[in-house]
Amino acid sequence: MQTALVILAAGMGSRMKSSKPKVLHDVAGLPLIGHAMKSGAALAPARTVVVTGHGAEAVEAVVARLDPDAVCVRQTEQLGTGHAVDQARDALAGFEGQVIVLYGDTPFISAGTLQQMSDSDADVTVLGFEAADPAKYGRLVVEGDALARIVEAKDASPAELSITLCNSGVISADCATLFDLISGVGNDNASGEYYLTDVVERATSKGLRASVVTCAEEETMGINSRVQLAEAEAVFQQAARLEAMTNGVTLAEPASVYFSHDTALAPDVWVGPSVVFGAGVTVETGAEIRAFCHLEGCHVGPDTRVGPFARLRPGADLAASARVGNFVEIKNATIATGAKVNHLSYVGDAAVGEAANIGAGTITCNYDGVMKHRTEIGARAFVGSNTLLVAPVKMGCESMTASGTVVTKDVPDGAMAIGRAETIHKPGFARKLMQILRARKMKRDS
């Protein structure tokens, strides 16, 4: 059976105290709406519909970037979750299959849980959880093996409030059934809203079967404030650390390592303390990422060593057994097998050849104020300390620069470039100058 997703992303989230729509706030470098879309994508949905409202244009731009095939529809009036889902009716016209309703501010519903919902043979399936503190959650009223109805906390009786099986809001049903049930939902409740949850009672009144799939409470965590956003980040990071270690990665100090939503570390990677992985990082087997490194948008090859205190920016690509040391920044550059950039250097928009050595203080001068230019350094080249390579420029294989050289034209294979001013000595001048300066200081201070 085909599956479609309807993701509700219309809420304002006023407790975020932000001009940015709630669902665009990040957890692990991915907007909340992106987490919901990523979970749902595991089902390979035939259609994805996102219902927007507050900040619709901004949300729609992000959705289009994350999934160009997703369709966005707008809920211009905030009349409840049932009304929000109904906005997807036209976008799902002609669709035959199951619809799963998710929420853009609930990032942790797992693909496994959604698969359980997809596998359910009930007419309507609701995702529930046992709450440690039910508080204001809607309650799932079960009679035998069937779900009879969902009661919002503000509409619940004292007996219903004692129920600990709570509603996550996630629901699935056949497309035609879902919209037929929504058509009969009213707003005779404390909020005057059209509740999606009312489709359960309508389903049972029509002789249809409703059921509950349960998951861990942590999966249903919704984000409505900065405090909850921070809590969600902590939940994600803890899970990511455990997953990495379970898969064979060593984290020297797990609590200090931060992952992105898409960090990919192979077995036998070693990660030191206080390492931050931004989006788009892959690290291969045997690599060592030492303390206080920051990586984003890069690839680290096998048996490579990075850091401490190194930064790999987008486009950095390190081949096997490369070395990038302390206070080195690599951006949009390839570092070939066995090449070394051991300390205090910037290598940007460049290609460093196999077994080349980049001395301390080397800078590829890649930007002329308007455009970026590339530097090419050949295999087994030796770049002396404090060399400036003014791009576009090439150093040939087994070429060399003398320390302090400014390279402004190509260096042939095997040649040595020397580009620095001659040192001139002035005997006795240092003592004389210091005497003059001290005399001026005494006069000024007197």
Report, as residue numbers or ranges, the catalytic residues.
343
Euclidean distance between CA atoms 198 and 48, whole angstroms: 23
Contact assessment for residue 309 and residue 324, using Cβ atoms and an 8 Å cutoff: no
> Is the CB of residue 134 less than 8 Å from the CB of residue 152?
no
H helix or E strand, kind and range, residue 221: none
Helix pair 175-183, 198-205: axis angle to 10 deg: 100
Q: Pick from 230, 236, 294: which is nearest to 261 by CA?
A: 236
Rounded CA separation 304/269 (Å):
10
Identify the CA nearest to 336 among candidates 346, 350, 326: 350
The single-letter DSSP state of residue 189 is S
* CA 180/CA 194 separation, integer angstroms: 14
| Spatial distance between the Cα atoms of 192 and 215, rounded to a whole number of angstroms | 30
Q: Give the residue carrying structure tokens 């800078």.
A: 363
The Cα 80–Cα 193 span in angstroms is: 5
Residue type, 218: E
- The SS3 of residue 212 is strand
Q: DSSP letters along 10-72, please?
A: ----GGG--SS-GGGSEETTEEHHHHHHHHHHTT--SEEEEEEBTBHHHHHHHHHHH-TT-EE
**Which among 199, 212, 220 is positioned nearest to 143, based on CA atoms?**
212
Assess contact for 3 and 45: CB atoms under 8 A.
yes
Taking only Cα atoms into account, the Rg of the chain, rounded to an integer number of angstroms, comes to 30
Enter the DSSP assignment of 129. Answer: E
The Cα–Cα gap between 334 and 378 comes to 12
